[in-house]
Each structure stands twice: as structure tokens, then as C-alpha cells.
Structure 1
């Protein structure tokens, strides 16, 4: 099965470099997406541009796909399920969950000169970054791409209620499945509250398991693809 890999804020497709060969070895066809405005220097890119890139990849696949969204890009994966329910076999969300219709995509940090730069590691102290050594932090920060304002402050538009019946895997890195279930019960993600087919996978990592636990993450995603295919 084609597995579309969408990295979160500040990252390009190379974030999945260690996951891709593992997925290939497990019999799948991984496609790591480069999003407009994250790596190409296009500061005018919008959320609509990123959605269009994801949907083009979904449409180009020969069959149904597993769409994987990391962190804020969980929204992009969910938007793909909403727009292409007949083509998306399953969605996997790694370290994130979708916001509600009408919400901003990722208006989390300060905008400077039309972009949202990486805010530094102080913003992620604690479980998010506990498994990152200093060389890895330095490498990730050096490769971080400022996110265009039109992406960060873009508004989510969800229209097809069939998304709530989409098979959905929540991969839990810096938190546990039990914590996510509690957040859902509290109504912190109205989208997940209405979702009917949620599975959970725990992974002992921080917020970037594609960097620190690539083999384990690949195994989890391959199993999700296998279950969707069967």
C-alpha cells in the first residue's frame, strides 16, 4: 500500500528519511511529501496549497492509501480523509490530533515578517524533547523551515461526515493512549469525540519518533497499512 508521510511544522520530507527504507523493507510504498512553504522558500504558500499537494498525492496513488500526519500535520491527514474518503483507507496521526472545522491550522507561535520561525527548544522542554541529544537538537533546528503565515493561520474546512467512520490510528509518543482517551472524553478534540473507529499505538519516544525511533514507528505504520489493506 502507498503510505503518504506528512511531517509537522518546520519539517520537509527528509524528516522521514530513516522511516522510508524501513517501510519499503516491510513491503509498502512510502511517499514522503514536501509541502509548499516548508523547504522551498515560498513564504507566500497557504494552507490551501499544502492541502492541494496532499490531495494530489492521494489522487496519484494507484489504489487506496494510508495517510500519516505528524503533529500539526495531523490536520492535513484528516483533511485528506474528509476530501477523499473513497481513496483514503486509513489515517495515522503521530503526536497530534485534528482541530475542528473553522479552527486555525497551527497558530501556535509568533509570526515574524510573514512566517512562523522555529521557536527554539525551550518551547518543547519536557517529554516532547527528552529523548533528543544535543547533536540531534542542533541538526533539527538547523534544518527547520519557517512556516508561512498563510499556512499557520489558515482555516480548516471540513465538510464530509464520512470522515468520522474512517479507520484511525493514534500513535502516542510523548503521551500515552490513556491520556488521549481522557482528552477525548473531555471534549478537547471534537473530531475525535465523533470518530467511531479509533485504534491506539504507544511508542516510547518524544515528539519526533521518526528521528529517535524510526524502526519502531515504521513497524507501527506498516501494521496499520496491513490492517487497512486486509
Structure 2
């Protein structure tokens, strides 16, 4: 086993990063090995942590084993505060990106996102152009741009900042979607399965699924 890669992988997990092929290809390949996965899991177990994989197998992340522990509770609440403010605009972006894809493919880890392709679809459709304009009124993607190019650039830059996209070229016109989308889909599935979150779902349930 590569001890340096083991160390980098563990550090990434403990830093709340989602390890995927697009952002950390070496660490992702390392985790694809069952013996390596077991070694990482055994190490994290000693500090009351564990590794989880997204339902599509495209992302690895770290969880707390004891949801009653103070840091675990803080992390759990932090996840939901984060997504409470981001889920609506992110879902609207997911729909827009799907409608702008030639085959209607939903955005997911590994998908190539082309700014020019998005812009072409948006500029040819009043409905899509309006959807983008509405999206950039939301504080997450807030933009003062008055044209489609300026608005789409703002959205893509914000998605890169949040870790949902990784830039492939210096011009910023090509991106790969990351495993953070995989994590988001799991969050959405969890929320759909539990219509009421306040008070009805214990920290342990949330922790085991999301954090």
C-alpha cells in the first residue's frame, strides 16, 4: 500500500472533501481497491469516523459514527443549514442543465459541461433564457449581468466555487461535474423519503445517511 496516498486520502476525507475521479483521481483510484478501502475504514474507526460511498459509487466521504458527539451534531446541523439555502437554486440549475443537454441527460459526476453549448440552447429558447434570468436573481447565483453569457458565467463560476464543477481549461468554458452532485442526489433522496425533517428524524438517521 502507498502510505503517502493513504495519508492524502485520509486527510481529504477528514477535511470533509468528497473524493471523486474528477477532483482527486489518485485518491479515488486508491479507494476503489477493497483492501485500501478496508485499511482506511479501520483507521477512521479508531477515531469514531467511517467512510461512506454515494449510491452511484462515484464519491467517497467521511461520517461520524457517534451522532451524539458534539462535533457530529455540529456537522449534521451544518449540512442541513447549507442545503437549506442551496437546494432550491441547485435543483433549478439541474433542470436547466438537463434541458440544455442534447440528449436531456441529467448532470452527474463525470459529465462534461460546455459553456458555449449551454449558451447556445439558452439563447435559442425564450423559456430557457427566462429560467436562467430567474436563477440569477437568487442570492446563491446573484448576477448583475444583463446578457445570457454573463449570467451563465456567473452560475458556472459559483458552481466551481462550491465544488460541483472543476474547470478543465484556462478560459473557463469547459468543466467536469464532480462527485458532489452524487452527494446532492443522495441528500435529495433522503429528503424525499422524509417529508418532515423537524423533530421527526433523529440525528442518528441524518448522520448515517448524509454527514
Query: Is the structural similarity TM-score above 0.5?
Result: no
Higher helix fraction (1 or 2): 2
Structure number with bigger Rg: 2
Q: TM-score, length-normalised on structure 2? A: 0.31
Q: TM-score, length-normalised on structure 1? A: 0.29
Higher strand fraction (1 or 2): 1
